[in-house]
C-alpha cells in the first residue's frame, strides 16, 4: 500500500437505473460512444488515471488540481452538446465531485478519507455539474476562468466534519451576494444534553431573540438564499438574532438517533446558554411556534416575549383534518421516493406549498437548500416529529407578550391555526398578513407588513 497526496475525481450518472429501465441498449451504446470519443481521451489528455469504473460512474486520480477541474468542466460542457437532441427524460447527465487529499493506493484501487469526500461532493453536485472542496477551489480560483458558487459548509454522510463546498454548473445562475450584515456572523458550536453538537450564530445587536428550529435550516447557506437572506438581514437590524441548525440538518450533527419535541427544547436551552441569553424573546416560524410555546411554558423565567409567524400549536396529524393527514402522507411518499435525488421534483412538492407565489429563482433556491440541508432519513424524522407536535396545553399557561402573525392565503399552514394560537395564549395579539407565502420574501406581499408590525413590538418589549 502507498500513501500519497492526490486529486480524486468521482463521477456518477444521474438516474442510471431509471435510464436503463427506459432504454437499456440505447443508454449503454451512448455511454460507450461518449467514453470513446470524449471522456477517456479527455482524462488521458489531462494526465489522469482511471482507477476503476462501475456501471454508472468512475474514480479518477490526477496529479494536478487544475488538470482535474479543467477536465471535468470540458467533459460536462461537451456532454450538453452531445445530448442536445435527446429528450429531457432520456438525457445522460453526470455529477462530478473533486477533492485533494491523502489517498491510499492499494494495487488497483484507492481508499481513504480523501476518496470518501470526493464521493460525497459528487452527491452534492447538480446534474451536469461539479462540486469541489474548498482546498480544490483555492487552488484553481485564479487559474481557471469558470464561475464557482459558494455553497458554504456542508454536512455529509459519514464525514464527521463540515466540508465547505463550491459548485459549478453549465447554466449556473448569477451568484447572489449575501447581505452585508452576514459578514459579522461567526459559527459556533455547543453540546445539547445528550451530547449532540449544534451549530449556532448570532447577528445584530440589542434585544436578544432566539429563533426556534423550523423546516430545515442552514445558518450559512440561508444568507445567499433569495428566500431567507433579506428576511434575516432585516430581522437582524431590529435585534440580536440568535439562530441554530436543528439536530439532523445544516451544520449540526446529522448522525443522531433522537429527533423529537423534547430534544428540540433541550437544544434551544443549550443554544440559549451558549449564547449567554438570560432573558430573551423567542421567534417561531411554522412548527417553531409550537417549540417556542413549549419552551416558554417550561422555562417561563427565561422568556420575555414571543413572535410567531405562520405557526401552529398542533401538527398535521393532531388536527382531526383529513386534508392535513392526506398532505402528510403525500409528504412521506415524496421524501421516501426521491428526497436524495438531484431532481428537484420531489422537494418542489414542499416548495410549492410553502412559497406558491415564488419566482423560479426563489423556488429553485428553496429546493436546493432543502437538498443540501439534510439527508432523506433525517428529513423523514423531522417531518414525522412536526406532524405530531402538540403544544396546546403549554399555550394556555403562557403569560408573556405574544404577537401572532399569519399570511391570509398560507397554503402550508391554514390561517385558522394561527388564529387558534392567538385565542389560546392569554392576551396574544393577532395580525393577518397579505399574501399566500409561508415564508416572508422581499418583494412579495407580507414582507414589509411583517417588519412594520414586529418593529414596534420589539421596541415595546426591549430588554
Contact 209, 281 (CB under 8 A): yes
Sequence-distant (6+) residues with CB within 8 A of 362 are 226, 227, 355, 441
| CA dihedral of 302, 306, 310, 314, whole degrees rounded to 10 | 60
- The predicted pLDDT at position 144 comes to 83
Spatial separation of the C-alpha atoms in residues 232 and 184, rounded to whole Å: 13
- The predicted pLDDT at position 172 comes to 63
- The predicted pLDDT at position 197 comes to 96
Question: DSSP state, 112?
Answer: S
Q: How many CB atoms lie within 10 A of CB 6?
A: 22
- The predicted pLDDT at position 173 comes to 61
Spatial separation of the C-alpha atoms in residues 6 and 420, rounded to whole Å: 59
Q: How many CB atoms lie within 10 A of CB 51?
A: 18
Sequence-distant (6+) residues with CB within 8 A of 33 are none
Q: How far apart are the first and last CA of the chain?
A: 62
Strands (DSSP E) contained in 239-363 are: 240-244, 280-285, 303-309
In Å, how far are 238, 239, 327, 429, 452 from 410, measured between CA atoms?
25, 26, 14, 19, 19
Q: Cα 193–390–302 angle (5° rounding)?
A: 50
Q: Cα 168–169–171 angle (5° rounding)?
A: 135
- The predicted pLDDT at position 28 comes to 92
Q: Map residue 237 onto helix, strand or coil.
A: coil
Element (H, E) at 383: helix 376-387
| Predicted confidence pLDDT, tens digits, the chain (463 residues) | 788 888 999 999 988 888 888 889 989 999 999 999 999 999 999 999 999 888 788 999 999 999 999 999 999 999 988 988 888 888 999 999 999 988 888 877 888 888 889 998 998 888 899 999 999 998 888 788 888 888 777 877 777 778 888 888 887 665 677 888 988 899 999 999 999 999 999 999 999 999 999 988 899 989 988 999 999 999 999 999 999 999 999 999 999 989 999 999 999 999 999 999 999 999 999 999 999 999 999 999 999 999 999 999 999 999 988 888 888 888 888 787 767 565 666 667 778 888 999 888 888 888 888 878 888 889 999 999 999 999 999 999 999 999 999 999 998 999 999 999 999 999 899 999 999 999 999 999 999 999 999 999 999 998 7
DSSP code string of 188-204: EEEE-TTS-EEEEEEES
- The predicted pLDDT at position 133 comes to 92
pTM above 0.85, yes or no: no
- The predicted pLDDT at position 4 comes to 84
- The predicted pLDDT at position 123 comes to 86
- Grid look-up 492499494 returns 106
What's the distance, CA 432 to chain centroid? 28
What's the distance, CA 342 to chain centroid? 13
Which three cell numbers, joined as nine digits, stand for 155? 454536512
- The predicted pLDDT at position 345 comes to 65
Sequence-distant (6+) residues with CB within 8 A of 2 are 104, 105, 106
Sequence-distant (6+) residues with CB within 8 A of 440 are 231, 309, 433, 446, 447, 450
- The predicted pLDDT at position 174 comes to 59
Amino acid at each position: 500500500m502507498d500513501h500519497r497526496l492526490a486529486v480524486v475525481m468521482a463521477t456518477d450518472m444521474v438516474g442510471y437505473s431509471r435510464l436503463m429501465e427506459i432504454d437499456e441498449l440505447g443508454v449503454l451504446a451512448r455511454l460507450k460512444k461518449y467514453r470513446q470519443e470524449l471522456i477517456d481521451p479527455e482524462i488521458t489528455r489531462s494526465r489522469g488515471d482511471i482507477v476503476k469504473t462501475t456501471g454508472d460512474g468512475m474514480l479518477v486520480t490526477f496529479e494536478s488540481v487544475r488538470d482535474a477541474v479543467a477536465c471535468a468542466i470540458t467533459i460536462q460542457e461537451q456532454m450538453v452538446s452531445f445530448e442536445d437532441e435527446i429528450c429531457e427524460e432520456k438525457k445522460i447527465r453526470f455529477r462530478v465531485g473533486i477533492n485533494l487529499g491523502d489517498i491510499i493506493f492499494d494495487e488497483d484501487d484507492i481508499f481513504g478519507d480523501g476518496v470518501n469526500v470526493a464521493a460525497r461532493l459528487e452527491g452534492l453536485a447538480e446534474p451536469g455539474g461539479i462540486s469541489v472542496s474548498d482546498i480544490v477551489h483555492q487552488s484553481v480560483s485564479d487559474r481557471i476562468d469558470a464561475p464557482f458558487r459558494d455553497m458554504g459548509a456542508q454536512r455529509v454522510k459519514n464525514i464527521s466534519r463540515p466540508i465547505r463546498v463550491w459548485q459549478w454548473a453549465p447554466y449556473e445562475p448569477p451568484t447572489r451576494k449575501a447581505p452585508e450584515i452576514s459578514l459579522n456572523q461567526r459559527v459556533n458550536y455547543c453540546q445539547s444534553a445528550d451530547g449532540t453538537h449544534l451549530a449556532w450564530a448570532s447577528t445584530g445587536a440589542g434585544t436578544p431573540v432566539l429563533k426556534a428550529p423550523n423546516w430545515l435550516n442552514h445558518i450559512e447557506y440561508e444568507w445567499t438564499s433569495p428566500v431567507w437572506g433579506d428576511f434575516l438581514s432585516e430581522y437582524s437590524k431590529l435585534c440580536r438574532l440568535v439562530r441554530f441548525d436543528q439536530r439532523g440538518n445544516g451544520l449540526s450533527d446529522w448522525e443522531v438517533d433522537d429527533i423529537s419535541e423534547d430534544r428540540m427544547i433541550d437544544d434551544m436551552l443549550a443554544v440559549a446558554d451558549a449564547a449567554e441569553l438570560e432573558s430573551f424573546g423567542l421567534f417561531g416560524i411554522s412548527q417553531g411556534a409550537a417549540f417556542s410555546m413549549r419552551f416558554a411554558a417550561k422555562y417561563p423565567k427565561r422568556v420575555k416575549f414571543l413572535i410567531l409567524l405562520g405557526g401552529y400549536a398542533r401538527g398535521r396529524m393532531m388536527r382531526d383534518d383529513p386534508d392535513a393527514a392526506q398532505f402528510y402522507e403525500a409528504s412521506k411518499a415524496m421524501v421516501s421516493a426521491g428526497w436524495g435525488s438531484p431532481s428537484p421534483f420531489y422537494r418542489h412538492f414542499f416548495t410549492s406549498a410553502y412559497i406558491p407565489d415564488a419566482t423560479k429563482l426563489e423556488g429553485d433556491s428553496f429546493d436546493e437548500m432543502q437538498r443540501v440541508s439534510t439527508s432523506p432519513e433525517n428529513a423523514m424524522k423531522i417531518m414525522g416529529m412536526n406532524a405530531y407536535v402538540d403544544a396546546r396545553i403549554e399555550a394556555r399557561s403562557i403569560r408573556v407578550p405574544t404577537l401572532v402573525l399569519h399570511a391570509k392565503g398560507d397554503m402550508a399552514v391554514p390561517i385558522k391555526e394561527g388564529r387558534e394560537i392567538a385565542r389560546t395564549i392569554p392576551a396574544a395579539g393577532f395580525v393577518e398578513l397579505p399574501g399566500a407565502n409561508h415564508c416572508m420574501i422581499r418583494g412579495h406581499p407580507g414582507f414589509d407588513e411583517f417588519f412594520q408590525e414586529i418593529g414596534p413590538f420589539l421596541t415595546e418589549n426591549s430588554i
